Copies of this chain bind each other. A is one copy, B any other.
Amino acid sequence: MADTSVYRAGTTAPVNIAVVKYWGKRDAKLNLPTNSSISVTLSQADLRTLTTASCSTTFTEDSLTLNGEVSDISGARTQACFRELRARRAALEAANASLPKLSTMPLKIVSENNFPTAAGLASSAAGFAALVQAIANLYELPDSPSDLSLIARQGSGSACRSLFGGYVAWRMGDKEDGSDSKADLVAEASHWPGMRALILVASAAKKGVSSTSGMQQTVATSGLFKERIERIVPDNMAAMEDAIHNRNFEKFAEVSMRDSNSFHACCADTYPPIFYMNDVSRAAIRAVESINAKAGKTIAAYTFDAGPNCVVYYLDENKDAVLGAFVETLGSTSGWKAGIGAQVGVLDETVAEILRDGVTRVIMTGVGEGPIKTDEFLIEANGETAKR
């Protein structure tokens, strides 16, 4: 008799925010980067993608639903992930005839973010990490997170870093087929658990230049970019790993800020220039500088991805000084957790005014764990999408 079962498995996956940035592909098809990168995985209590993967002979075709909307899966990146995962499942099935032939069944994937898509919050990283991990769970693949990161990388480069919690490096590798371009763990979240992140959401508008197109333009036209990938990033990688291993926040902060500056400098040096930061972003930088000046040492670090949002890293032990300065100005903005007292007069009034006008919400989070298997399913046992 034909197997008409619905097989399903679920996972959550985290967002990560790089402190040494990925910008530039040496191979666009395989998503191979021009440089290595390091990120901090953020807590899924605050930001996560929840994905259910299912397969069944009763499904008519592969499908992906993201935040309630049917998503196009014909793109090469999603197809690459499906193909690689099916191939690994097929190998298991070939070795063990008793396994159901999941690799031959249409996949149905349903995914939800608990944060706005495409607001510069690395949603594609969490999304592809969750997609790959959910299907790996469904297929009961024995692959390690680092092995799975090879697949997620083909979906979205920075997704490979979301297969791990804590402090994660993406090693660029040097093989042409990309088989050594994958994530590995620099340190568990528990190694340095006090790392916190305050995200100042400057705009929820869709961004103007996509990361993929932007980084290709930078590689092709920026005269300064070569120096970044050949000298600046390798130095930053070594310094950042050292800072993480030694829990040296001042060094972590300086490298984060310098690397973010260098990345956005290369965007500005692109022809035509790419600008992800705006006046609100720049005010956030001045705010961080004021907080550090007031403290007499570096207790906060800014970093910006391909969008205007500022991510401020700080240690839990300095939360009063760091959060308090922002609460004084942004206290009426949504997203604050309880119990933070305002620190009056740290920020310059011009800076405060720009932040008040331009920051639409804040997100308080911190370093967190990698993907977590879950029984919270977005697809019912009968294969239908769950009503939410």
Which A positions have Cβ atoms within 8 angstroms of B?
A: 222-224, 226-228, 231-232, 235, 254, 257-258, 261-262, 264-266, 268-273, 275, 278-279, 282, 285, 289
Q: How far is the CA of A278 from the CA of B282 in the complex (A)?
A: 9
Q: How far is the CA of A224 from the CA of B278 in the complex (A)?
A: 21
Chain A interface, DSSP helix/strand/loop, else mixed: helix
Q: What are 7 sample pairs from A and B whose C-beta atoms fall under 8 A apart?
A: A223-B227, A223-B228, A224-B227, A261-B273, A265-B269, A275-B282, A279-B279
Shortest distance between the CB of A307 and any CB in chain B (Å): 15
Q: How far is the CA of A265 from the CA of B223 in the complex (A)?
A: 11
* Among A231, A254, A272, A278, residue most surrounded by chain B Cβ atoms (within 10 Å): A272
Please tell me if the beta carbons of A269 and B262 are within 8 angstroms of each other in the complex. Answer: yes
Name the residue on B nearest A260 (C-beta).
B273
Please tell me if the beta carbons of B258 and A268 are within 8 angstroms of each other in the complex. Answer: no
In the bound complex, residues from chain B placing their C-beta under 8 Å from that of A278 are 279, 282
Name the residue on B nearest A230 (C-beta).
B227
| Closest CB pairs A-B (n = 8) | A265-B269, A227-B227, A265-B265, A265-B268, A224-B224, A223-B232, A279-B279, A261-B273
In the bound complex, residues from chain B placing their C-beta under 8 Å from that of A285 are 272-273
Please tell me if the beta carbons of B257 and A261 are within 8 angstroms of each other in the complex. Answer: no
Please tell me if the beta carbons of B261 and A268 are within 8 angstroms of each other in the complex. Answer: yes
Q: How far is the CA of A2 from the CA of B291 in the complex (A)?
A: 64
Shortest distance between the CB of A219 and any CB in chain B (Å): 15
Q: How far is the CA of A211 from the CA of B282 in the complex (A)?
A: 19
In the bound complex, residues from chain B placing their C-beta under 8 Å from that of A223 are 227-228, 231-232, 235, 258, 262
Please tell me if the beta carbons of B275 and A289 are within 8 angstroms of each other in the complex. Answer: no
Given contacts A224-B262, A227-B227, A265-B265, 9 further A-B contacts (CB under 8 A): A224-B232, A226-B227, A257-B272, A262-B269, A268-B268, A272-B289, A273-B285, A278-B282, A279-B279
In the bound complex, residues from chain B placing their C-beta under 8 Å from that of A226 are 227
Name the residue on B nearest A259 (C-beta).
B223
Please tell me if the beta carbons of A261 and B266 are within 8 angstroms of each other in the complex. Answer: no
In the bound complex, residues from chain B placing their C-beta under 8 Å from that of A261 are 268-271, 273
In the bound complex, residues from chain B placing their C-beta under 8 Å from that of A289 are 272
Q: How far is the CA of A282 from the CA of B231 in the complex (A)?
A: 29
Q: How far is the CA of A224 from the CA of B254 in the complex (A)?
A: 16
Q: How far is the CA of A231 from the CA of B268 in the complex (A)?
A: 18
Shortest distance between the CB of A311 and any CB in chain B (Å): 16
Shortest distance between the CB of A207 and any CB in chain B (Å): 14
Name the residue on B nearest A278 (C-beta).
B279
Please tell me if the beta carbons of B265 and A224 are within 8 angstroms of each other in the complex. Answer: yes
In the bound complex, residues from chain B placing their C-beta under 8 Å from that of A279 are 278-279
Shortest distance between the CB of A255 and any CB in chain B (Å): 10
